[in-house]
Structure 1
Amino acid sequence: MKDRHSITSQLTLTRRDMLKSLAATGAFALTGSFGFSGVAAAADSQTVRAYGVTTAQLKDWSALTKSTGLKMEFIGSNNDVGVYLRDILASQMGNKADIFIFEGGTQNILGPQGAYLVLDEKNPNLKLWQRTPDVWKRSQVVVGKDGKQYGVPVIGNADSFGYFPDKLGVKPDGTSDLSWKTVFEDDRTRGRVGYDNEWNYSIGVAALYLKSTGKAKVDNPADLTPEEAKTVVDFLVARKKAGQFRTLVSSYEQQIQLLTNHEVDVLNCWEPAVHEANLKLGDGKTRYAYTEEGYYKWGHGAYIASQVKSRGNEDTVYKMLNYFLDGEYRALQARDRGYAGPNMDLAVQYATAHNWSADQIQSLKETQQKVDRKFSKPFVSTTTPSHSDAIEEEWQRFLNA
C-alpha cells in the first residue's frame, strides 16, 4: 500500500483510508467541519471561509473587515500534505470552505481532479492581477503542470534555520552566510540541533547540503529518486546516531518553545518562529540564517473550492483573492512574520499612507531585499515529488533509527 504522502494513494485511496475518511466526514457534518460556523457559505454573505496553513493568517483579521467589509473564518491545517489532500478529496472540505491555502504542488493533483476551480483572471474583483509580477502569478506554486492557472500567490519565503549568533561565534546582526553544515555535522552544534520530523520539509535541505558539498550525487533536491532518498537518509541516520540532533520537532509551537527556552542552538524552522522567540528574548537574540548552499524555497497559493461556483459567492471570494495581492495584507504579513510576496511596493505605499514608523517602512523594504537575496539560490520545493512513496519509506527509517 502507498504511504499517506503518495500521489497515487491520494488519488485512489485505499479502502481502509476511505472508510476512515467517510467516518470523519460524518463527524465533520455534526461539528460544522473543523469548527466552521454554518453549513455553507451563503451567496450574499460577506464572510469568506478558508482552510489552510496557519502561516497564511493575519494575526488580526479585523483589518480586512475595516478596509473591505469582508470577514474571514480561518481554520488551520498543519503542513502535512497527505492530511491536507485527504481532507479535500475524501472529506469534501469544499462543502464548507471557499478557499484553500497550501504550499505549491497540490494544484497538480486537486486541479485536474476538480477540487480547485480554474482562476478567472478577468473577474472584475481581481483588480490587481494584471499588475502582479509573473514571477509570482505564473510560478509553479499556482500554475498546474497542465498549464492552467489554479491559484493566486499569497506568501513566499526561503526557509533555512534559526540560530543564536553568540553560540556560533558569528556576526550578531545575522548577515553572515552560514553553511548547512551547521545543522548536520558541526562539532559546535552536536547535540544542540532541532530538526523537523516531516520529510517534505527536512529531506530536501539535507539533499541540498550533500549535493553542494559533493558528498552525494543528487540531481534535484526537491524531487529525489528512490536511490537518492536512500543516500540522503543513510547520511541522516548516521548523523542521528552520532548525536547531532537534540530533538525532532513536530509543530510550529514547539519551534518557538525550543528557541525561547534555549533548548537548542540551531533549529531548521519557519522564520516566524524566530520572530516570535525574539518578542520574548529581545530583538536580534536569535537570527534566521542566510546560507551558503541554498534554501527550502516555497510559496503558498490560494485556490477556490469548486463548490463555490454552485454557491454563487464567487464575487466575494475574488475580492478576498485580490486582498492577498494588495498592500495591506502584504505589509501586515511582512511586519508580523517576515514573509514577502507579490506587490511589495504596495506594502510600502500602505505603510506610508497609514503613518507607520520610518523603521517599519524600512523593514518592509529590507524584507523584499532579503527575499531577493535568498531566491537567487537553489532550491524550489514541492509538496508532491514524483517518488513520495519511496521517500516516505526511507524517512520512516530515519525516524525509527
Structure 2
Amino acid sequence: MKDKFSTVSQLELSRRGFLKTTAAIAGAAAISQTFGSFASAQSSNVVRGYGVTTSQLKDWSIMEKSIGVSMQFNGTNNSVGVFLRDVVASSLGDQTDIFVFESGTEDILGPQGIYLKIDEKHPELKLWDRTPDEWKRSETVVGKDGVQYGVPVIGNADSFGYYPDKIGAAADGNEELSWSLMFDDEKTKGKVAYDQTWSYSIGVAALYLMGQKKLEVNDPADMTGPEAAKVVDFLIERKKAGQFRTLHSAFEEQIQLLSSGSVDVINCWEPAVREANKTLGSDKTRYAYTKEGYFKWGHGAYIASQAEGRNNLDNIYKVLNYYLGGEYRALQARDRGYAGPNMDLGVEYATENGWSKEDIENLSKTEQKVARKFTKPYTSTTTPTNADAIEEEWQRFLNA
C-alpha cells in the first residue's frame, strides 16, 4: 500500500494538480487554520519559520536578545511527505519566511522556485565566508542543480541507544559496536526496538548487510527496488525470529522505551538517550559508535521565495547568520547533542558567558564525536529516487 503523501507523489504532481486533490485541500485547510494567527505578525523584527522541531531553540527569546529579531516557529515532524504537502499545497511561503528540513527537499522545491537562492554576499550573512565547505557546500543545502538554496543548521550521525551493562559493552561508550546488536545477535534477541519509518531504518539495515558482505548495495540512501527487496527479506526473517520486541514511531516512544528498560537496544535520536539518562542517572544508557556506519543527516534553512517581496530579508539573513554563530551552536550542542558549522564559536561563546568547565568540555567532545562519526558511511536523503519501490518493500516488512 502506497502512502498517498509519499515523496514520489510529490514529485509526480504539479503544484496546480496537487492542489486539486482532496487530501491536499484538507491539508491546506488544516494548515491554514494553524497558521492563521501565525501569519498575522506584522512586526518588522519578526521572522516566521516552519520545519522540524529539533532545529528549534528551547527559548527563542535568547536569540531576540542577541540579534533583535524574534522568531515565530511552527514545528512539524521529520516526515518529508507531510512537509512537502504543507509547503506546496498550502502555499506556506505566503506566510512563512524560513523553512527548516533535512536534505533532499532542496532538490525538489529549489528548482520549482519555492526556495530562494542564497545571497552569499548579503551583508547580514557575516559568518558565511568562515563557515567550512564541508557544511555550507554539503548535499543538505546545495541542490543537485548546483544552486546554493540553504544555510546549514545542525547535523548528526544517528545510531542506536543501548545499556552497556546489559549487552556487555564498555561503560564509557567509546568502543565501536556492530549493528548486529540491532539486527542479528542472540543476546539482544527480543530486546530490540526498531523504528518503523523506512527512511530512518532501512538504510542502516542495508549498511549492516554490506558490512557483513551479505549484500552489495550501490547506495544505501537510494536503493533500487531489488536491493530494497533483499534488505526487507532479511528484516522479515529477523522479525519472524523474534529479534524485535517492538516497532516505534515517535520521539516520546524512544524516551519511554529506553528509560523504562523494556529494551536493551533501540535505533533512536541521540537526545532520547540524554532524556532517558535524566531519569536513569548519568550515562546509564549510551549512544553507539558503530563499526559499519551511521544514518548521517543535516538540516538546512531555506528562504521562501515569497519572502523576497516582504521587505524583511535583512532580518531573515540575520537569523540565517545566527544559525552559523556560537550562541545557537552552543545551545544546540548542550541541549540536544547536535553539532553544526563553526563549533569553535560555540566553545568561544560558552567560555565568554561563564559556562561551567564541564559544559565547555562537552561542547568540544560533541565536535570530536561528530567528526569521528562523519568519517564513516552513509549520508541520508529524504527524497530518494526510488522511494516508491522502497516504500512498497517496506510495507512487506511492516505487514509480515
TM bucket, shorter chain = over 0.9
Structure 2 partner of 1:18: 21
Structure 1 partner of 2:144: 145
Residues 275-298 of structure 1, C-alpha deviations (whole Å, 9 max, x = no match): 111111111000000000000011
Structure 1 partner of 2:162: 163
Structure 1 ranges of 4+ moved more than 6 A: 14-17
Query: Offset of 1:23 from its aligned partner?
Result: 2.9
Deviates more, 1:275-284 or 1:149-158: 275-284
Aligned residue for 1:39, secondary structure, equals helix
Q: Is the CA contact (8 Å cut-off) linking 2:27 and 2:86 kept in structure 1?
A: no
| In the alignment, structure 1 residue 391 sits paired with structure 2 residue 394 | no
Relative to structure 1, the CA distance from residue 38 to residue 184 in structure 2 (aligned partners, 3 Å threshold; closer, same or farther) is closer
Q: Which amino acid letter does the alignment assign opposite residue 26 of structure 1?
A: A
| In the alignment, structure 1 residue 324 sits paired with structure 2 residue 323 | yes
Residues 1-59 of structure 1, C-alpha deviations (whole Å, 9 max, x = no match): 96446544203337798222123323433x242xx6343553x5212211111111112
| In the alignment, structure 1 residue 95 sits paired with structure 2 residue 94 | yes
Q: Which amino acid letter does the alignment assign opposite residue 376 of structure 1?
A: T
Q: Is the CA contact (8 Å cut-off) linking 1:6 and 1:387 kept in structure 2?
A: no
Matches of 1:2 and 1:237, distance apart in 2: 19
Residues 222-248 of structure 1, C-alpha deviations (whole Å, 9 max, x = no match): 110110000000111111111111111
Matches of 2:20 and 2:381, distance apart in 1: 24
Relative to structure 1, the CA distance from residue 355 to residue 369 in structure 2 (aligned partners, 3 Å threshold; closer, same or farther) is same
Matches of 1:230 and 1:293, distance apart in 2: 21
Matches of 1:8 and 1:57, distance apart in 2: 28
Residues 206-263 of structure 1, C-alpha deviations (whole Å, 9 max, x = no match): 0000011111121111110110000000111111111111111111111111111112
Q: Which amino acid letter does the alignment assign opposite residue 139 of structure 1?
A: S
Gaps of 5+ in 2: none
Q: Is the CA contact (8 Å cut-off) linking 1:6 and 1:389 kept in structure 2?
A: yes
Residues 298-329 of structure 1, C-alpha deviations (whole Å, 9 max, x = no match): 10000111111122211111110000000000
Aligned residue for 2:363, secondary structure, equals helix
Instruction: Map 1:147-226; keep pairs closer than 5 Å.
Output: 147-226=146-225
Structure 2 partner of 1:337: 336
Matches of 2:250 and 2:96, distance apart in 1: 24
Structure 1 partner of 2:68: 69
Structure 1 partner of 2:239: 240
Matches of 2:303 and 2:123, distance apart in 1: 16
Query: Offset of 1:376 from its aligned partner?
Result: 0.6
Aligned residue for 2:187, secondary structure, equals coil
Structure 2 partner of 1:111: 110
Q: Is the CA contact (8 Å cut-off) linking 1:125 and 1:318 kept in structure 2?
A: yes
Q: Is the CA contact (8 Å cut-off) linking 2:5 and 2:85 kept in structure 1?
A: no
Relative to structure 1, the CA distance from residue 51 to residue 374 in structure 2 (aligned partners, 3 Å threshold; closer, same or farther) is same
Q: Is the CA contact (8 Å cut-off) linking 1:327 and 1:349 kept in structure 2?
A: yes
Aligned residue for 2:376, secondary structure, equals coil
Q: Is the CA contact (8 Å cut-off) linking 2:31 and 2:86 kept in structure 1?
A: no
Matches of 1:261 and 1:133, distance apart in 2: 41
Aligned residue for 1:172, secondary structure, equals coil
Q: Which amino acid letter does the alignment assign opposite residue 319 of structure 1?
A: K
Matches of 2:289 and 2:26, distance apart in 1: 45
Structure 2 partner of 1:127: 126
Relative to structure 1, the CA distance from residue 105 to residue 5 in structure 2 (aligned partners, 3 Å threshold; closer, same or farther) is farther
Q: Is the CA contact (8 Å cut-off) linking 1:40 and 1:95 kept in structure 2?
A: no
TM-score by length of 2: 0.96
Gaps of 5+ in 1: none
Relative to structure 1, the CA distance from residue 68 to residue 92 in structure 2 (aligned partners, 3 Å threshold; closer, same or farther) is same
Structure 2 partner of 1:377: 376
Structure 2 partner of 1:80: 79
Matches of 1:121 and 1:217, distance apart in 2: 40
Q: CA RMSD in A?
A: 1.6
Relative to structure 1, the CA distance from residue 356 to residue 15 in structure 2 (aligned partners, 3 Å threshold; closer, same or farther) is closer
Q: Which amino acid letter does the alignment assign opposite residue 398 of structure 2?
A: L
Residues 70-108 of structure 1, C-alpha deviations (whole Å, 9 max, x = no match): 212221111111111111111112122211111101100
Query: Offset of 1:61 from its aligned partner?
Result: 1.6
Q: Which amino acid letter does the alignment assign opposite residue 257 of structure 1?
A: Q
Q: Which amino acid letter does the alignment assign opposite residue 22 of structure 1?
A: I
Q: Is the CA contact (8 Å cut-off) linking 1:49 and 1:74 kept in structure 2?
A: yes
Relative to structure 1, the CA distance from residue 222 to residue 5 in structure 2 (aligned partners, 3 Å threshold; closer, same or farther) is farther
Count of matched residue pairs: 397
Matches of 1:222 and 1:5, distance apart in 2: 20
Structure 2 partner of 1:280: 279
Q: Is the CA contact (8 Å cut-off) linking 1:192 and 1:245 kept in structure 2?
A: yes
Relative to structure 1, the CA distance from residue 215 to residue 280 in structure 2 (aligned partners, 3 Å threshold; closer, same or farther) is same
Q: Which amino acid letter does the alignment assign opposite residue 160 of structure 2?
A: F
Q: Is the CA contact (8 Å cut-off) linking 1:127 and 1:322 kept in structure 2?
A: yes
Matches of 1:147 and 1:32, distance apart in 2: 34
Q: Is the CA contact (8 Å cut-off) linking 2:2 and 2:391 kept in structure 1?
A: no
Q: Which amino acid letter does the alignment assign opposite residue 25 of structure 1?
A: A
| In the alignment, structure 1 residue 37 sits paired with structure 2 residue 40 | no
Structure 1 partner of 2:266: 267
TM-score by length of 1: 0.96
Matches of 1:172 and 1:224, distance apart in 2: 36
Matches of 1:4 and 1:378, distance apart in 2: 31
Q: Which amino acid letter does the alignment assign opposite residue 245 of structure 2?
A: R
Relative to structure 1, the CA distance from residue 152 to residue 40 in structure 2 (aligned partners, 3 Å threshold; closer, same or farther) is farther
Matches of 1:183 and 1:17, distance apart in 2: 43
